[in-house]
Amino acid sequence: DGGITQSPKYLFRKEGQNVTLSCEQNLNHDAMYWYRQDPGQGLRLIYYSQIVNDFQKGDIAEGYSVSREKKESFPLTVTSAQKNPTAFYLCASSKGQGFEQYFGPGTRLTVT
Amino acid sequence: AQSVTQLDSHVSVSEGTPVLLRCNYSSSYSPSLFWYVQHPNKGLQLLLKYTSAATLVKGINGFEAEFKKSETSFHLTKPSAHMSDAAEYFCVVRSSGPNAGGTSYGKLTFGQGTILTVHP
């Protein structure tokens, strides 16, 4: 069964702590993406990666970091520098840039 | 530059009546357009896509959308709403064109979303 998995589904952290969200895909896709979703704002691109060992900042990269050491995995770290980290985070992948994106089920992060 | 405007933040219909979710777009080049659906606390599922072939696009679950270049619109319709259609819907434009290479090529721009409520 091919797809994208994100874990955990719900995550709670204290302010000032870094937290890493997992995203794994077994679709053999080259490109992977992280989006943040807030109510009434649609999805905004945080980071994307076109190929292993390469990634680019999206529209709202401040306070976030990523790595792409394996084709299947694209973890996102929400650092303590992110001023408003509470949100729903969605990971996506595609064959390449310009191809249809497939989305994971999301992780809801709550920071108090 | 590209942008997407979903004209209604909320739409409420009765079960069995037609659904219309409105979307206008702006794009420097011939766009690719998509509609995604999201059920609560779930990921996004692709409903349908327009990529410069037929202007009337049929998708899953009885939805369809018509690309109207003269009106820069890509409205989503369904003849008869079902309770299971209640969800949030996103209109999305994808960049393309000779000057959209490099980092901007293939970038998705999302509308703000339309929440569809279906009453029994």
pLDDT digits (tens, 9 = 90+) for A9-22: 999 999 999 999 99
Residues of chain B with pLDDT under 50: 98-103
pLDDT of residue B101: 43
At A55, is the pLDDT very low, low, confident or very high (cuts 50, 70, 90)? very high
Q: Which residue of A has its CA nearest to B34?
A: A100
Distance CA B47, CA A87 (A): 24
* Structure confidence at residue B108 (pLDDT): 87
Q: Check if the beta carbon of residue B5 is closer than 8 Å to that of residue B109.
A: no
pLDDT at A60: 95
Give me the pLDDT at residue A1, please. 56
Nearest to A104 among B41, B43, B108 (CB): B43
B-interface mutation test, from A24, A47, A103, most B Cβ less than 10 A away: A103
Query: pLDDT value at position B65?
Result: 97
Which pLDDT value is given to residue A2?
A: 66
Q: Is A100 helix (H, G, I), strand (E, B) or coil?
A: coil
Chain B residue nearest residue A42, CA to CA? B112
Inter-chain touch B105–A106, beta carbons under 8 Å: no
Residue count (chain B)? 120
Query: Given this model, what pLDDT does residue A98 score?
Result: 74
The two tokens of residue A94 are 């595609």
Taking the CA of residue B24 and the nearest CA in chain A, the distance in Å comes to 15
Q: What is the rounded average pLDDT for all residues in chain A?
A: 93
Q: What is the pLDDT of residue A109?
A: 95
**Averaged over A61-75, what is the pLDDT?**
97
Give the pLDDT of residue B102.
45
CB contact, 8 Å: A95 with chain B? no
Q: Do B113 and A108 touch (CB under 8 A)?
A: no
Measure A17 CA to nearest chain B CA, in Å.
Answer: 24
Q: What are the DSSP E strand ranges found in chain A?
A: 4-7, 10-13, 19-25, 31-37, 43-51, 54-57, 64-66, 76-78, 87-94, 102-103, 107-111
Record: contact B44-A103, CB cut-off 8 A: yes
Residues in contact with A72: Cβ distance below 8 Å, sequence separation at least 6, in sequence order? A24, A25, A26
Instruction: Report CB contact under 8 Å: A42, B113.
Output: yes
What's the pLDDT at B103?
A: 47
Collapsing DSSP to helix, strand or coil, A42 comes out as: coil
Is the pLDDT at A45 greater than 50, yes or no?
yes
User: Which residues in chain B have their CB less than 8 angstroms from residue A99's CB?
Assistant: 106
Measure in Å the smallest separation between the Cα of B17 and chain A Cα atoms.
Answer: 25
Predicted pLDDT of residue B45: 93
In B, minimum Cα distance to A101 occurs at B46
Contact criterion met (CB < 8 Å) for A97 and B105: yes
